[in-house]
């Protein structure tokens, strides 16, 4: 299969490298100097320096070349959420697209599939998501993902492109649930990082936060038309647990740094990568309020990110909420 991966960040590079031994993969980098360095050094020095790129992986800064390469094959958008609109709107007519980014678009509050429906009505679209750190995928460590699309042919193409001995790809028709899970888990990982950065909190608090975070994620998903069972799968519980507890999680790292007393600007500057939970938090909260859905953990994260509450006070406020009967969705 001919595959074009649009975006040479950590995740785009990792997925392109994973597929290159079996398919004809062309990785597009927006920056020409980065494309030259990737091709010459066989390493993504900025985003994935630990892994040598496979010899078969080709790199270009010519977007039209990348799109022409994938004609009749598979086009994968690997930009952050902020770049998805631009990439979708400039694809050739009727070109199917699969994206990797997770979140709600700032401003519009749209999920990826909603953007695609608006910009490319009638074209097949989908998302590849699930519990995955780019470094581990690039190292061919065991990983499981889910390709979600209303178009069964596109989901099947994603399996054909990326399924391997190290990378297992499942399919789902619930693109709403998969995208909500991918978006909210980043916000909840910030909250978990804050708790983990507070020595007085302990592991019991982490478990409570993850569990109630899953209920929060499910509530919003159901209000948007998702299926409840999706949140028990890879893109829900699986991605939440990984991102909220894994040391490679950038969003969890933001929470840890905030708990340590750093400002948001300092925390983001130290990452060197995008932490999608930061722009997603306020947008998700606005979307939820419009639907009459309560997201107390997300609301606490927004208060911390926007400087209205110190991290310790925000987490204390969560634990002080009025007791109620437990429900998976309540």
CATH for 134 = 3.40.50.720
Q: Are residues 159 and 194 in the same domain?
A: no
Tens digits of residue pLDDT in 94-123? 899 999 999 999 999 999 999 999 999 999
Residues 161 and 212 in one domain: no
Given 142, 173, 204, which residue is the final one in a domain? 173
Give per-residue pLDDT as tens, 270-287.
Answer: 987 789 999 999 999 999
Looking at the 3D structure of the chain, how many domains does it have? 2
CA–CA separation, 129 and 254 (whole Å): 21
Print the domain residue range for 169.
Answer: 2-173
Same domain, 143 and 211: no
> Is the same domain home to 8 and 128?
yes
What is the torsion angle, in degrees rounded to the nearest 10, for the CA atoms of residue 83, residue 224, residue 163 and residue 8?
Answer: 10
Is the residue at 32 inside a domain? yes
Residue 273 confidence (pLDDT): 79
Residue 268's domain is classified under what CATH number?
A: 1.10.1040.10
Confidence of residue 323 (pLDDT cuts 50, 70, 90): low
pLDDT range class, residue 324, cuts 50, 70, 90: low
Residue 325, in any domain of the structure: no
Q: How many CB atoms lie within 10 A of CB 232?
A: 13
- 125 and 38 co-located in one domain: yes
Residues 129 and 206 in one domain: no
* Domain end position, chosen among 140, 173, 206: 173
pLDDT digits (tens, 9 = 90+) for 208-233: 999 999 999 999 999 999 999 999 99
Q: Specify if 75 maps to a domain.
A: yes
Residue-wise pLDDT tens digits, 68-103: 999 989 999 999 999 999 999 999 988 999 999 999
Of 173, 204, 221, which closes a domain? 173
Please indicate, yes or no, whether residues 150 and 287 belong to a single structural domain of this protein. no
Give the whole-angstrom CA distance, residue 236 versus residue 243.
11
Q: What is the pTM of this model?
A: 0.94
Q: Is residue 235 part of a domain?
A: yes
**Among residues of the chain, what percentage have pLDDT more than 90?**
88
Q: Are residue 128 and residue 214 in the same domain, yes or no? A: no
User: Does some domain include residue 324?
Assistant: no
Catalytic residues: 185
Is there a contact between 82 and 110 (Cβ–Cβ < 8 Å)? no
Do 227 and 287 lie in a common domain? yes
Residue pLDDT, tens place only, 159-182: 999 999 999 999 999 999 999 999
Whether residue 197 is found in the same domain as residue 62: no
Q: Which residues contact 215 (CB under 8 A, 6 or more apart)?
A: 327, 328, 329, 330
Quote the pLDDT of residue 329: 54
45 backbone φψ class: left, alpha, beta (φ>0; ψ -120 to 50): alpha
Beta-bridge partner residues of 43: 52
Dump pLDDT digits (tens) for 287-310. Answer: 999 999 999 999 999 999 999 999
Residue 328 domain-assigned?
A: no
Residues 113, 239 share a domain: no
In this structure, the answer to whether residues 155 and 193 fall within a common structural domain is no
> What pLDDT score does 201 carry?
84
């Amino acid at each position: 299969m001919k595959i074009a991966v649009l975006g040479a960040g950590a995740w785009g590079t990792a997925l392109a490298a994973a597929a290159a031994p079996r398919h004809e993969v062309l990785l597009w980098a927006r920056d020409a100097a980065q494309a030259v360095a990737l091709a010459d050094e066989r390493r993504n020095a900025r985003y994935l320096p630990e892994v040598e790129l496979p010899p078969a992986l080709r790199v270009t800064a010519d977007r039209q070349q990348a799109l022409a390469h994938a004609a009749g094959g598979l086009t994968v958008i690997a930009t952050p959420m902020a770049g998805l609109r631009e990439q979708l709107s400039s694809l050739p007519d009727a070109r199917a697209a699969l994206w990797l980014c997770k979140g709600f678009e700032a401003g519009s509050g749209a999920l990826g599939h909603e953007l695609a429906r608006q910009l490319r009505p009638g074209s097949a679209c989908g998302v590849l998501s699930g519990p995955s750190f780019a470094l581990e995928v690039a190292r061919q460590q065991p990983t499981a993902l889910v390709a979600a699309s209303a178009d069964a042919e596109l989901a099947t193409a994603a399996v054909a492109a990326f399924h391997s001995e190290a990378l297992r790809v499942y399919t789902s028709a619930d693109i709403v649930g998969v995208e909500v899970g991918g978006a909210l888990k980043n916000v909840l990982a910030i909250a978990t990082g804050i708790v983990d950065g507070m020595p007085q909190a302990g592991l019991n608090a982490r478990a409570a936060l993850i569990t109630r975070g899953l209920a929060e994620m499910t509530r919003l998903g159901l209000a948007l038309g998702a299926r409840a069972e999706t949140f028990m799968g890879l893109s829900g519980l699986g991605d939440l647990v990984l991102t909220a507890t894994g040391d490679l999680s950038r969003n969890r790292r933001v929470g840890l740094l905030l708990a340590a007393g750093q400002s948001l600007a300092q925390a983001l500057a130290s990452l060197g990568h995008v932490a999608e939970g930061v722009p997603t938090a306020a947008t998700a909260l606005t979307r939820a309020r419009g639907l009459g859905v309560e997201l107390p953990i997300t609301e606490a994260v927004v208060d911390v990110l926007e400087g209205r509450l110190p991290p310790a006070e925000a987490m204390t406020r969560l634990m002080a909420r009025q007791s109620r009967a437990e429900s998976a969705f309540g």
